[in-house]
Chain A
Amino acid sequence: MNVSAVEIAQAYIRELSALRKWFALCFIVIATITIGLATTWPKSYTSFSTIYADNSNILQPLMEGNAVATGIGDQARMAQEILFNRIYTDDVLKASGWDVNGMTPSQKDSIILDIQSNTEVTNVGRAPASLIRIAHHDPDPVKAFTIAQKYTTLFIEESVVEKRTESRGAFNFIQQQVDSYQTKLQDSENRLSKFKSENNYGTQADANGRISSFRAEMERLQLDLTQLDTEKASVEAQLAGEQQVVRDLTEMNEFRKRINALQMQLDNLRSRFHDNYPDVVAVQEQISDLMSLYENGNAGVLISSDDLQADGMTPLHQELRSRLAQIETTKQSKESQLNGIRALNAAEMDRMTLINESDAQLAELTRDYNVTRDFYNDLKKKLENARVSMNLDEEQQGVNFKVQEAAVIPTQPDGLGLVELLLGSFILALAVPLGLLVLYMELDPRVSSESDFQADWPPFLIAIPPMISAHKKRISDGLFLSLFILISLVLYGSAVMINIAGIA
């Protein structure tokens, strides 16, 4: 079931009315405690000065990019380091009214730590801040002013010295770096020149040119050799054909010579003997065998190779043999050239490897040299900048600290005023019992409204309002409210009066 806001408010008012005595008691207790705290809380006064770090003098645009005035990156941190230095302990203690001569070191430490813990050095505004605020808190306004003023004076004086020291330190450091890099640069130059003199293999481009020309020449010679091989094969084929012709002619001539010789021998024998004479018969059989060989194509056995070479040379055959010999000669010449060029190419490839190795070492040495040279040149420039910066600080032309707002004796204590505190006390004294009431209402498990009735119960008919005499209730409520207001006025009025009278 939904409950309207009015019903909720009525429930709260009813409960507040029922518990009004507890509410009032809680209010009075909290109000009394908070008023007591507000009026008796120790007061603290803060005196502060604002220092302007001016780094925009007339020299800045003139020297921009060259000289670097001592920066104001975190001036507050720098100021704190300066001011909280132990060497100023006595100065600060004296300024705050202590007799340092009669104090032990541990007493001094204790007091200065207390002073430092109540001193704040902060940058004012966004980074890069150009305003520094030095503030000191103390229950005594005069003491707060004195210490804040002392710290301001100390900072102005010491920051000038600090800047000079810092810029001189920077110059000396860069000077050392320049000397160191000068030595490194000389070493690098020597290594480079020595390497160049010891490794002169020519350039990679020349070697590549030569290798390319060698390869072209080798390819051309290989083509020539291939052509000669083809030509040689052709001539050898022709020569082989011509040899068969010569052989056939030689065989026929030999056959004819032998037949003619045997015929002449036979004729001679017949002229002297009968046909059945054994010699005649033997010669006839020889003739018959020869004829048989010839007819069977085996006349080649009648001739030797010497016969062929000696006797069988035709003009074409001789020309072919001459041509073949010429080809062989040319081929041998070309092969000889090819081998020579291959050797040269291999030598050039070896040289190429050396050139590559040499180039890599040279590149590394050159790189070292260049880096060292760049660093050296850069440091030289920085050295000059540092020199000018140092001169700026010497002449107090860099960052200047000016007191923008001098410390004064504070007239008002820190934090909230009494009125604000009393208002807070009143709100708290009201809020706490109201909060407890809300908590009580929310956590109370008892049935108090229509919404608490469950759906499975018999129907909810109505809520009967309390039957109280409105007149009596008004009187009762009015009396209670009047009393409550009276007590509140007495409590808070007393606090104000006490404060005005200066008792607290």
Chain B
Amino acid sequence: MEQEKLLSKEELQSYGLIHPAMEDLDVVNAFRNLRTSLLNKMEQYNSTLMVTAITPDGGASFVATNLAAAFTFDHQKTAMLIDCNFQDPALAEKFNLDFKYGLKDFISGKVNDISQIVYSTGIQRLRLIPSGNQESDVVEFFTGERMFSFLSEVRSRYSNRIIIIDAPPILDSADTKILAELADYILLVVPYKGVTTNLINRTLNSIDKTKIVGMILNK
């Protein structure tokens, strides 16, 4: 892997990414506190955490990205961000990433080496797997053996790496329910003034609640 080019503060700011020296400390501190809360709840660090919102534009990608960035504040830890939102992939664009292959390419068998789909983000210790290029029935990909073995391999590569999956909204996609089965934990993002309590109840009833590590309100 070539030498990683780190993003400047201005770039991070313009991409909507947190960094320790940013002006708005409230947001940084909020993600730090969220990170601490999650670490207390997770049994091991290299777990798979699925971040999903209840509705589209609920802020799951924003939370997943910045949460991953918050994990990398610790120099001993790394984070892997996987864009599983095949319907509306946003992470590559968020990091202004020009990628060749992504997750869909790996699952479809177009590429077989995971390292071919892992990209630097410009943030130290944070890696990104974009959604990919393959246009096909994505549900079939997530239910396949390759997705399961992909996650196992990614998880087993580094013990100090947390895997964060940016998943589509629960009520908007069947992918999320399949991904929920594969993930160790689920973090549910509730958009500010985006949903009613009834809708949240419907969402909670549709997935395995025991995996939900907590809920956050994304203002």
Contacts and interface: CB of A to CB of B under 8 A. Distances in A.
Contact of B204 (A448, A450, A457): A457
A462 interface: yes
B76 interface: no
B213 A465 contact: no
Interface in A402-456: 444-450, 452-454
Contacts of B63: 464
A461 B34 contact: yes
B196 A462 contact: no
Contacts of B74: none
Interface string A458-474: 11111111111111000
A447 B189 CA distance: 12
A14 interface: yes
Given A457-B200, A457-B204, A462 B193 contact: no
B145 interface: no
Given A447-B190, A467-B16, A457 B215 contact: yes
A257 to B, nearest CB: 155
Contacts of A460: 214-217
Contacts of A446: 193-196
B215 A445 contact: no
Nearest to B212: A458
B209 interface: yes
B33 interface: yes
Contacts of B26: 465
A462 B38 CA distance: 11
B115 to A, nearest CB: 32
Interface in B53-67: 59, 62-63, 66
A461 B215 contact: yes
Contacts of B212: 458
B218 interface: yes
Contacts of B13: 469
Contact of B196 (A447, A459, A466): A447
B17 to A, nearest CB: 9
B58 to A, nearest CB: 11
B24 A467 contact: yes
By CB atoms of chain A within 10 A, which of B16, B37, B196, B219 has the most?
Answer: B219
B188 A458 contact: yes
Chain B: interface secondary structure?
mixed
Contacts of A459: 214-215
Contacts of B204: 457-458
A464 B200 contact: no
B218 to A, nearest CB: 5
Interface string B31-53: 10110011000000000000000
Nearest to A449: B217
Nearest to A458: B212
B23 A470 contact: yes
By CB atoms of chain B within 10 A, which of A448, A450, A462 has the most?
Answer: A462
Contacts of A450: 217
Contacts of B209: 458
Interface string B190-206: 10111111001000100
Interface string A1-42: 000000000000010000000000000000000000000000
B30 A458 contact: no
Contact of A463 (B16, B193, B197, B216): B216
Contacts of B195: 446-447
B180 to A, nearest CB: 13
Contacts of A463: 30, 216-219
A450 B30 CA distance: 14
A447 B217 contact: yes
Given A457-B200, A461-B34, A444 B217 contact: no
B19 to A, nearest CB: 12
B174 interface: no
Nearest to A460: B215
Nearest to B191: A447
Contacts of B16: 467
A165 B48 CA distance: 108
B169 to A, nearest CB: 15
B219 A14 contact: yes
B216 A464 contact: yes
B200 A462 contact: no
A458 B190 CA distance: 12
A448 B23 CA distance: 25
B6 interface: no
Nearest to B189: A464
A460 to B, nearest CB: 5
B27 interface: yes
A460 B188 CA distance: 10
A10 to B, nearest CB: 9
Contacts of A469: 13, 23-24
A457 B213 CA distance: 11
A18 to B, nearest CB: 9
A458 B214 contact: yes
Q: What are the nearest 5 A-B pairs in CB distance? A: A461-B214, A458-B212, A463-B217, A446-B193, A465-B26
Given A14-B219, A464-B63, A467-B62, 20 more contacts: A445-B196, A445-B197, A446-B194, A449-B217, A458-B214, A460-B214, A460-B216, A461-B37, A461-B213, A462-B30, A462-B33, A462-B34, A464-B31, A464-B34, A464-B59, A467-B16, A467-B24, A469-B13, A469-B23, A469-B24
9 contacts: A453-B215, A457-B204, A457-B215, A458-B204, A460-B215, A461-B38, A462-B217, A465-B30, A466-B219
